[in-house]
Structure formats: structure tokens, C-alpha cells
Structure 1
Amino acid sequence: MGSHPDEPLTPAGRLFLQPHMNTIIHCVVGFERPIDVPKSKDAVMSSIMVRHPRFRSVLVRDKRGLEHWRETSVDIDRHFVEVHDSTSVNDYVAGLSFSSPLSEDKPLWEVHVLAEHRCAVFRIHHALGDGISLVSMLLAGCRLADDPEALPAVAGGKRTESAGKIGSLWGLLKMVLLSIVFVLEFLLRALWVSDRKTAISGGAGVELWPRKLATATFSIDDMKAVKKAIAGATINDVLFGVVSSGLSRYLDHRSPNALPEGLRITGLAMVNIRRQPGLQDLSNLMKSNSGTRWGNKFGMLLLPIYYHKGGADPLSYVKRAKKMIDSKKLTLEGHFSYKIGNLVMSWFGAKVACLLNYRIVCNTTFTISNIVGPTEKITLADNPVAYLRANTSSLPHALTMHMMSYAGRADMQILVAKDIIPDPELLAKCFEDSLLEMKEAALTSKKTLKDN
């Protein structure tokens, strides 16, 4: 047992330990060569990850039932799980996603090594930090494949701040009005407003249902080609357009002629609200007074998409997504959801905060997130990394999608409740085909403009 005093959990950390929201992040790392387990254990033990207090602390509860972190020693052998069977990576992770909690008698993380597949699954409890924190920490232990002494470049982004949009009185008024509208919608979703049921809807209790996992793979160059075809578009706009188009395709297959044109399907997106977007410089994350600090620093956005029957212009999905996301960028919805969550936790406790979050998930249809990873090939424990993927354990949603890019491609993990969505591979193909169709439309549009 360490000599440091116990440290209370943050409000978000307590939320992720509640039974209905108990969430584990899975970061899947594929390697080009067989995994040397003893060397990997040494690499983890000497990494900054294990030096971080969260990763060498166990969860304890005081007499009032409040959770604290208590520093302890790390027995690395208890944190590595070697898997020797032929189960596919996706099937194995799907099994972990609904039926395999982390033991509380050791720090809340594990590394599962699937030797046959040259793959390691980092299982880290969400109470330790959000996806941005955890992936940033994982990459701090990696090196560039072309330069073994160099750290992977931290992928920054361009933060679209509201302040940059309110140079006029109308801009300020628009920001205030949109914020009020979106915040009211957020509150109504926590109370009673719900999506209409479709073939992809989940609901209360679905977090306990068995899962299947499929992977959709996209070329970053294809996404950039679509992005360039629409003035001011971003990769996130393209991603959401692909999701909108792909879900319409899939619902046409599952429920032909059963849904009304323009039916709203609401997604829940987790957004990083740190001042610096994208993955973080770990030295900044470790500073308690930094705006990019460690932990769970994310808000929630309600992102609606609309069902459209086949035959529409493929790029129209991206244009609609861009218009919707642009309006979201003007608002304070993400910051509001983060602040109100902390406020409810402080005033009413973890159970009430968990209930509100649970109801928001039950009243929407899917979860989506996107992490921009390294643009160059990297190594971990001197083993070249072939791919990076991420997902979380089960939610009441029957459909969760987590995309992570790496070295020119992006893999989207599609986790589904298999009794509701039995064919996630078909859904993955719907997404992949949607992007290819959009790319063809973008190239055709470019050629037409050039000819004219």
C-alpha cells in the first residue's frame, strides 16, 4: 500500500462506476510481428502509464460508500492475460464488451494478448480517463517506425470556437438562440422525448445483451476527396454523412418501405472539450492547472440524421451533415452537458446523474466517436503496429460506432446487440459502399467543373 493519501474520484469517474453506466474502454493494437510477452510486460512496467497514479491505484470505498483511489504496487503478471485460442479478434472483444468486468482488487486495467492474431487488447476502465487521455498515454509509449527515438506526432485539430463566429450582434444572438434550443432538447431527451423505434433501436436493459463486433475500414484519402468536393467540409462531416447514408441503406434492407422519408434518428456523440482538440501532449495532461488536463473531459452532443430512401445524390448526405454540425459548433451544448453532469452529481449524487445519462442513451439510437490517431507508422515495444482500433463495453444502445485513424486508414468498430442487429458485417459494408459512392460522386463533380 502506498504512502500517499487516498484521492476521491472525480464526478465523471464515479458516474462510470455506476451499475448502469459501468464502462470499459478497449484499445485494440494489431502488430506486424509475433508478440514477445516478457518484453511487452517490461515495456508496460517501465512506461509512463504505470508511473501515473491512476494506473497504480485500487478502488476503495469509505464508510459513506464514496469511492477513492488508493495507491498500491503493480503486479504486472496479474494485468496480462494470454489468450490461446482461435477466436477472432472481433468475436473476442465482443465477448469482453458485455460479460467481463474488471476486478476491483487490482488497478482497473488489463492487457489481453491474442498471440495467434498478433494482437493486444488494452482494457482500461473509463473511470481512469476518457478516450483522448488513454490513447494519448498509450502513444506516449510508442515510437515512430522510421525513427526509433522519436515519439509519434500528436494529432492536433482545428478548434472551431464560438468566439470566432460572433463578430457581429447577429452572430452573438444566433449563438445564444441555438444554444438555448439545443440545451432544451438535451433536457427533454433526459426526461421523455425519444426516437421512434426502428430495426436498430436499443433501450433499457440492452446493455446486458450479447454483442457482435464488425469493422468498417475507410481510406483517409477517399474521405479527403469527398471533403474537398464540399466547401468548408471536415472529415467529421464526411464521417457523419457516411453514417447517415449507410444507416439509410441498412434500414432499406431490414425494413423495406416501412419507414417514412426524413425520419429522424438521433446519435449521441462524445466530444473532447479541452482547449486543444485531438490527442494531447502527455506533459500537458499531467498538469493539474492545464486546460488539457487528464481525466474525463468530454461533453455530449445530440446529432440527428434523417432516413432517406435510395437514389439521392450521395454528397447530399455530407452537405446535410455539415449544415447540422456547423450549427452545433456555434453552441455551448458540449460544455453545458459536461457542466450540468458535474452539477447533478454534486447536488443529487451519482445515482441520479447515472439515471439521467441512462435515460438520454435509452431515448436516442446510437453512439458515435472519432479519434484522430498517428499519421505515420509507429512501433510499440519495438514491434511495428499494423492497426489501431477502439470501442467501449456495452451501452443501452444496440449500436455503437467508434472510429480511429492510423497511417492513412480509419477503422470503425461497430458494436451491436446481436439479437437486434444480427448482421453487423452488412452494416459495415453499407458504410464502406457509401463512402466509395460519395468518392465517385466527388470525382465526377470535379471532372464536370474542370470540363466547364
Structure 2
Amino acid sequence: MSVSPVSVSDEPLTPAGRLFLSPELDTIIHCIIRGKDPINIDAVKQTIESSLMLQHPRFCSLLMRDRNGNQYWKRTEVDLDRHVIVINSEDDSGAGGEDDDEAAVNQYVADLSVSTPLSTDKPLWETHLLMAHRCAVFRIHHALGDGISLMSILITCCRKIDDPEALPTMITKRDSGPKEGKWWDRLCSVLMMVCFTFVFVLEFVLRATWVSDRKTVISGGAGVELWPRKLATANCLPDSNPNEVCLLLNSDLSKTINDVFLAVVSSGISRYLDHRSQQGLQKGLRITAEAMVNLRKPPSLEDLTNFIKNNTLLRLGNQFGVVLIPIYCRKSGDDPLQYLKQAKKTVDQKKHSLEAPFTYKVGDLVMSWLGPKYASVLNYRIVCNTTFTISNVIGPQEQITLAGNPIAYIRVNTSSLPHALTMHMVSYAGRADIQLLVAKDIIPDPEFLAKCFEDALIEMKEAAIATAKC
């Protein structure tokens, strides 16, 4: 089955695309979609064939290189039979239950993350259909776009479960407009932004040179991206009482899901380090997470509708900055709400700075002026000098279907980095799953680490309920 593309001129590779295709940071995004019903292969192929994926140039172009070494995208025909890979496992009947299914899917994706690059003789994406586990694994090279743009493309293939003709609802950022208040309040806000930006940019420069985190039992380093991996899932909001979660989000301790996410990560990491370290958790330990912050406004429902009906181009690409998040570890037994207080303080400081736009611009300039070699060295050193990676992508807010199959969950992770631990959270229809991709020779028990995160959220909710009753 082939799809003929519209004839357009060749498109040069963007600086960010060149970075993600460099040997040091060759990055593939894995999106796991679990259906509630058995997979209909023909329906999936038909959905992809008629989807916006194959209308967008990035998904029907080959990666080419001219005689001068310059890379560019060249349009080609898409053979769906080469992109849709059906996995029929005779050993996995799916009769072992939900936990066995999840373990099998996680192991399959963990193996893909290290040893299975995408072939360059076809467009850089694939869909693996794990028939025994009712899962589709979308493999998309990071050079095609970042998490926000690729989630937008995926959403256009789906429909609401209660309205088969309607596109899912996505949360989009709204412009806050000029801040109101007295002139000295605005002046203080500007001064805070300048101070925080200076401090955070200085730390970024130091991390790119020689400053490194203290080594712990979860630290990675140069070459760890080649080590075998394991994948586990922390179900942080599987069936949570919305009122209990709102206590965390609407209190003075936190205001956003990022506050809660960072608090859960800090508490869970503290629990794990205290368990794994022979001398217990080191007092005053501070490690650093590398977080990716999207700088592009997510497309609205109107943008997606215009893309479908009017054949307008939906902009893809990579437009995000790197933010270094300090993680303050504490002994178990401390007030769990202290993690929320510290997380809110950290997130507020990052929001008042221009760290993310600065790091995006620096990376873009280094790539444009010095080339991918120096840009990849810069990013590689920052990864090696920090402890782990985190990201958070907001998914659809209601139950949706893909090829007529109701979706149970959406999970995302990427291929291996020099970090021994990477965490990617995706929220979907009231649940939030965190995928933990680990180097198994460094972190041999990711399932226990996932339970540390789950227990951390439960403890925070119980503490918030107890505080509200007082």
C-alpha cells in the first residue's frame, strides 16, 4: 500500500533536526497507545493512510545528504506495509492479565530504545502493532518534531469516544496579557526576572563546562546511553478522587500539575536513594534534573480543524528550551507537604526567568554557527553533568478512540540518553502515567522506584486531607 505525496521542493534540515540526528543524541520518541479492544490491522492502516501524518511533508520525506554533506528532506512515496509492523507473539497470549501485558509491552519498548534505530531508506517513523497486548507503539524520530507537535499530529488521527466526528480537546496556553498592578510591583517583577535569569544562565554555563552532580546510585554518565534498558510505569493518578487531587492543586502549597509532578519526583527519588544507599540518604543532598520546556503554543482545535478541512500546514519542529531543576532530597519521615512547598518555589522561580528561551537560543546559535558537532557536545556534557531527565506532556482531556478502538492509556518515552534514568509523564482523561526508562545495570529495580512515586503521591494527598480537616 503506497501513498503518493504532493510534489514540493526539498526542505533543508532544521538546526534542531541536525542535533537530534547526531550520533551522540540520536533520539527516537516512543508513544505507546493501549486499546481496550483487539487491534484491527486494516482499520489502523486506513486511519494512518487518511490521517494528517501522511499529509505533512516531514512524515513522507527521506533524509538525504548532498555532496557537501548538507542534510535535507526529500519527498517520497510512503509504503505503509514497511511502516506498519505487525508483531504476532505466539508466547504472549495476553491471558496473563493486565500486569503481564504491561510488563511485556514495557520490555518490548525498552529493547527498542537501545538497539533498534530507524532505517533511513524510508521516512523516519514506524508503527508497531503488538497484537497480543492490544498496543500500538508509534516510533517517531525527534528530528521530525518535539512532543507537543507530535502529540498534535497524533490527536488529529483520534476522535472523541462520545462523538465519533469530533476531534479531542487539547489544553492550549493562553496569553496572560500585560500584568496589572502598581509600577513598583511591575518593576520588582522585572528585577526578579533579571536576577533569576542571571543565576540560572550562569548555572547552565557551568554545567556545560565542568560542574557536575554528586554521584549517587542513580547517576549515569558518558556511554550509558548504550547500556541495556528496563522500562516501568508509575500510575500516579489511575483512579484518584478528583477532590483529593484538587486539595493539592488549589492550596497555598501548589497551583499547577507541574508543582505536584516535581514534588512527587523529589519525594520518590528521596525514598529510593534512602533505600538503595548503604549509609542512607546523604544529608543536604541536591541533584539536578534536566527538564524540557515547550516554547511553542500548542495548536488549538481551530488550527487542527483548518489543517483537516483547508489543507493548511500544521507547523512541526523542535522548539523547546532546557531548564535545570534542583531536586532537594530529604529523609523519610519528614512532612511530605514540604516537597510541595519546595516544588512550588522552584517552579515559580523558573517561570520568572528567561532560562528556557535563553537555552533554546544558545543551542540554535551554536548549531547554526559551529555545526552539529559542537552543539551535540554541548548537550551531551549537560546531560552527563546532571542526574536524570524529566518531561511532562498534556494529552487529551476526554476518552478518545483510534481507528474506532477506545484508548485505555497513552504513554511516552524516548530512546536512551547518557542518563541512567529518564521520566516522561503524559496525562490523559484524568490519569497520569510516568514512564521510567532506566539503565538496568545501574537501577535494577525500576518497579520499586515506580512504587516510590506512587506512594509519595498517596502520602501527600493524605497529608493535605489531614491539613484541610484541621
What displacement does 1:262 show?
2.1
Q: Is 1:23 paired with 2:27? A: yes
Q: Is 1:5 paired with 2:9? A: yes
Output the amino acid matched with 2:70.
L
Q: Which moved more, 1:159-168 or 1:127-136?
A: 159-168
* 1:211-251 CA distance string (max 9 Å, x none): 00000002263543322333552110001000000000000
Taking a change above 3 Å as real, the CA distance of residues 156 and 138 of structure 1, as seen in their structure-2 partners, is: same
Which position in structure 2 is the counterpart of 1:42? 46
Taking a change above 3 Å as real, the CA distance of residues 233 and 3 of structure 1, as seen in their structure-2 partners, is: closer
Output the amino acid matched with 1:195.
D
Q: Which moved more, 1:163-172 or 1:127-136?
A: 163-172
Q: Is 1:171 paired with 2:171? A: no
Q: Is 1:111 paired with 2:133? A: no
Matches within 5 A, 1:332-411: 332-411=354-433
Output the amino acid matched with 1:210.
P
The CA RMSD measured in Å over matched residues stands at: 2.3
Output the amino acid matched with 2:77.
S
Identity of matched residues, %: 61
Distance in 2, Cα, partners of 1:161 & 1:98: 44
**Structure 2 length-normalised TM:** 0.90
Output the amino acid matched with 2:271.
R
Output the amino acid matched with 1:123.
R
Alpha carbons 1:133, 1:285 under 8 Å: kept: no
Q: Which moved more, 1:411-420 or 1:221-230?
A: 221-230
**How many corresponding residue pairs?**
446
Output the amino acid matched with 1:50.
L
**Structure 1 length-normalised TM:** 0.94
Q: Is 1:149 paired with 2:165? A: yes
Which runs of 5 or more structure 2 residues have no equivalent in the other structure? 93-102
Output the amino acid matched with 2:10.
D
Taking a change above 3 Å as real, the CA distance of residues 441 and 258 of structure 1, as seen in their structure-2 partners, is: closer
* 1:158-184 CA distance string (max 9 Å, x none): 667896799522221111111011011
Task: Decide which of 227, 230, 236 is 1:209's aligned counterpart.
Answer: 227
Distance in 1, Cα, partners of 2:285 & 2:300: 32
Specify the SS of the correspondent of 2:138.
Answer: strand
Which position in structure 1 is the counterpart of 2:36? 32
Alpha carbons 1:279, 1:373 under 8 Å: kept: no
Alpha carbons 1:223, 1:238 under 8 Å: kept: no
Taking a change above 3 Å as real, the CA distance of residues 180 and 285 of structure 1, as seen in their structure-2 partners, is: farther
Alpha carbons 1:157, 1:277 under 8 Å: kept: no
Alpha carbons 1:26, 1:124 under 8 Å: kept: yes
Output the amino acid matched with 1:36.
N
* 1:100-147 CA distance string (max 9 Å, x none): 000000000000000000000000000000010001100111100011
Alpha carbons 2:213, 2:287 under 8 Å: kept: yes
Distance in 2, Cα, partners of 1:253 & 1:42: 49
Matches within 5 A, 1:204-283: 204-219=222-237, 221=242, 222-275=244-297, 281-282=303-304
What displacement does 1:157 show?
4.3
Which runs of 5 or more structure 1 residues have no equivalent in the other structure? none
Task: Decide which of 197, 201, 204 is 1:186's aligned counterpart.
Answer: 204
Alpha carbons 1:223, 1:235 under 8 Å: kept: no
Specify the SS of the correspondent of 2:457.
Answer: helix
